[in-house]
Amino acid sequence: MSTITLPKDLEELVAAEVAEGFAPDAQSVIDAALRNYLHKLADLRRSVAEAKADFEENGGVSLSDLRAEFEGRWKRNAG
């Protein structure tokens, strides 16, 4: 793979992780960060797909109905 250049703020964060002993080298920091990002992105995409499938199967609630429900709950709890 080719060499990449990080913005200065990210370079500093990577260097700090290594300097503080949280990682043996910059490559390890980048590897862990990218794997974590990709894992979270996959989870998010899976969650969106599940929500979309649920919506298509069961429908949804309008924003005005949801707002009215929460306002009603708030008023009941406030009184």
Of 54, 4, 48, which Cα lies nearest the Cα of 29? Answer: 4
- pLDDT computed for residue 14 by the predictor: 98
Q: What is the pTM of this model?
A: 0.68
Note down pLDDT in tens along the chain; length 79 residues.
679 899 999 999 999 999 999 999 999 999 999 999 999 999 999 999 999 999 999 998 888 989 998 998 888 888 6
Please count the other Cβ atoms lying within 10 Å of the Cβ belonging to residue 17: 19
Locus of tokens 């649920």: 54
- pLDDT computed for residue 79 by the predictor: 66
DSSP annotation of 21 reads: T
- pLDDT computed for residue 5 by the predictor: 94
- pLDDT computed for residue 8 by the predictor: 98
